[in-house]
Chain A
Amino acid sequence: MTKILLIRHGDTDYVDEALAGRIDSPLNSLGIEQSLRVSETHKHLPIIAIYVSPLRRTQQTAEPLAQELNLNIIIDNDLNQVDFGNWQGLSFEDLVKDPRWTTFNQNPALTQIPGGENCQMVRERVTQAILHLSRQHTDNALIACFSHGSIIRHIVSSFIGLPLENLNQLRIAPASISTVYITSGKGKLLHLNQELPVNWL
């Protein structure tokens, strides 16, 4: 069995404002505060490896914990954010004017991101990435993966058997933790969107 903590990066100026996608936006001051909180909560866990997406916001969120645990941060390109193509960088205010965006949010399988990544491919990419990590770290190893909201939603739904069209029923807040256990390729969901501090209304 492999135990995987899926941690979303902390707050950036894009969160809730615009679709950052693969724009390399850094954490803002709230995000940095959250990264310290993530470190504080996790430093007593027997984490043996830390993986991040190639984007700065996930690395910054992982850094305090990596220092505390004296671990190297390993970049895994397959944990990168979805390629949002022409939508990348647009404000959510602008995006809601595009009917394809609404369709995409209701059922990502029904539409193609203009100039971007196909959602079936995203699911395949992240599922394979997690299976690969689980084969590398066996015997109840605990690892942490710092990634993005869409990516964590895809990972969780892939391993609990959630259809693609229900992807957006899951919430993944900045700096939240979701935990999956993988045993011979099958997943178990320990927590979804554990937020620190509890902050959900």
Chain B
Amino acid sequence: MAIILLIRHGENDWVGKRLAGRMPNVHLNKKGQDQASQLAEILKTLPFKAIYSSPLERAIETAQPLAQLKEMEISICANLSEINFGDWQGKTIKQLQRLKLWKTVQNNPSQMQFPNGESFVNAQIRLVECITQISEKHEPTDLIACFSHSDSIRLLVTNFLNMPLDSFQRININTASISSLTLLKDHISVPFINLIDIRQFVTQFTEVEKKTSK
């Protein structure tokens, strides 16, 4: 039982271009580092009881400024990691968009099994188990930060809202955005999704437009 903030890692050079997946050595770029420091500034007054992170560098690097300010350890959780995209990992988005299975990812993700990787179904189970275990370790009023990835956060939000898995692509998660879950015994709620720095609000509209028109 806990209040959980799900925070996506900051920008890196792969975002929107190539599927980084679990590749090692994908680090935050300058913008990502700035986002991580801004996040720490925004969040530093909150009474966190624990900070968890995916084992990937970009998530840990996003968590570090907050952990430093709060003088807290980052607990690494393998199950908060990105989807195992198997053979798709490292490919450019352009390459992947040409594949037949790309449509399955977009329209029927519940049917998608990444070649030599995970299915969204199994990824969702792994993530939900991980968050449930974390929340069970804590008191209902404990505030927990979990640094993770776009698809992982969307799969979690989808599960806890009881949305169909096939609809998970309908939720948008920006880099360095904050979403939330309150997991109580008799009530689960999602107080907000994809909270971003309000100064970024205007830029967001132009960015998504570019992405959609591609």
Q: Give A residues with C-beta under 8 Å from B.
A: 1, 3, 41, 44-46, 140, 142, 159-163, 165-166, 168-171, 181, 183, 186-198, 200-201
Contact = CB atoms under 8 A, between A and B. Distances in A.
B195 interface: yes
B195 A189 contact: no
A190 B172 contact: yes
Interface stretch (B25-33, B68-76, B93-101, B162-170): B162-170
A147 B167 CA distance: 25
B189 A170 contact: yes
A183 B209 CA distance: 12
6 contacts: A1-B212, A169-B189, A194-B194, A198-B198, A200-B192, A201-B143
Contact of B170 (A161, A163, A171): A161
Interface residues of B, number: 35
Contacts of B42: 198
A160 B189 contact: no
A196 B195 CA distance: 10
B181 to A, nearest CB: 10
A200 B202 CA distance: 22
Closest 6 CB pairs of A and B: A192-B193, A161-B167, A193-B192, A171-B191, A169-B189, A166-B162
Main secondary structure of the interface of B (DSSP, over half): mixed
Interface in B123-147: 143
A169 B182 CA distance: 9
Interface of B: 3, 42, 46, 143, 160-164, 166-167, 169-172, 180, 187-196, 198, 201-202, 204-205, 208-209, 212-213
B198 A160 contact: no
Nearest to A190: B172
B198 A197 contact: yes
Contacts of B198: 41, 194, 196-198
A189 B171 contact: yes
B162 A162 contact: yes
A196 B197 CA distance: 10
A159 B170 contact: yes
A193 B201 CA distance: 13
